[in-house]
Amino acid sequence: MGRRRAMTAEQAREVRRRGHEDARLFAEKLGIGKEFRSDPQAKKDIIDSEGHSYSVKSGQKKWQIFLYGKKRFTEDYVFQGMNGVAQILIDCINSFPEDRREYLKDKRRYKESLSKNMEELKEKLLEGRLLKSFLDKSLFNSGEVDFFVIKENEIFHLFSSRDVVDSLSEAYQVENSTARRKGEMNSQKVVFKFNGITNGEIEMRNDSDRHYREIKFWLDKKKTLNLLKKEIDEGKEYNNFIIIYGRARRIFFKREKRSRKSQSSF
């Protein structure tokens, strides 16, 4: 199996464009229409008229949850407050020299240094409290997003962010990667597995001058959706395009009841 090719800038723009289109489509199916707000920096793709916020994930096979350099972990107070997680991530980045040409001269040396830090990161994330904090920060900017929406074909699956963090943190087995081919090394990544199958990874990006000494966290779309549907209460159709699960059902069906009551009063 060949090495994954990095996404080009044009491909990344196309992914973002499709994501914006799917967010607008979800807003339309939810009944918000075109009059909605967003706050991408806080991972809020949609903010409705009641102030509820949504992160909408669409069609690509894998989601890049974040791609951060050293500055993010040195300056972000939430990462800094995770009992040493930020410093380990910084140590992962510092495993490699600032000049990529030096790294290319002796990759094995620097990857050996990375292995020790990735093993330490895995041990930290085996603590349920820290894993929840890491997932909540990475996915929802620490509670700033209320709902997680996944588009599958033409259907939007809607979950509360709290259900997502609880379910993923309880279901994941946290491990280090294992070398599978000649020239590879163990413990180059932290791997999140469910039933023994990889759902996502924390890894270093050193594959180009553009993406060098950066930490990437990604999740597999289909596997994440299947995990959430399995672990969270059975979904209920909100309309022909939206299925709502778990805690989110109470919020949305109460809102629908209020809306019907309001309309009947006229």
Per-residue model confidence as pLDDT tens for the chain (266 residues) = 345 555 566 666 666 667 688 888 999 998 876 656 666 666 888 988 888 899 999 867 999 999 999 999 999 999 999 999 999 999 999 999 999 999 999 999 999 999 999 999 999 999 999 999 999 999 999 999 999 999 999 999 999 999 999 999 999 999 999 998 888 899 999 999 999 999 999 999 999 999 999 999 999 999 999 999 999 988 999 999 999 999 999 888 776 665 555 444 44
Residue 251 pLDDT: 84
Residue 191 pLDDT: 98
Q: What are phi and psi of 115, to 5 degrees?
A: -55, -45
- Amino acid identity of residue 46, one-letter, is I
Residue 63 sits in which domain range?
Answer: 9-264
Tokens of residue 108, six digits: 């094995």
Residue 236 pLDDT: 93
Q: How many structural domains compose the chain?
A: 1
Task: State whether the Cα torsion 39-221-248-131 is positive or negative.
Answer: negative
Q: Write down the residue that tokens 């196309």 correspond to.
A: 14
Q: Does any domain span residue 163?
A: yes
Q: Does any domain span residue 1?
A: no
The model's pTM: 0.89
Q: Does any domain span residue 2?
A: no
Q: Does any domain span residue 50?
A: yes
Q: Which helix (H) or strand (E) holds 253?
A: helix 247-264
Q: Does any domain span residue 4?
A: no
Compute how many other C-beta atoms are within 10 angstroms of the C-beta atom of residue 101: 8
Q: How long is the chain?
A: 266
Q: Does any domain span residue 3?
A: no
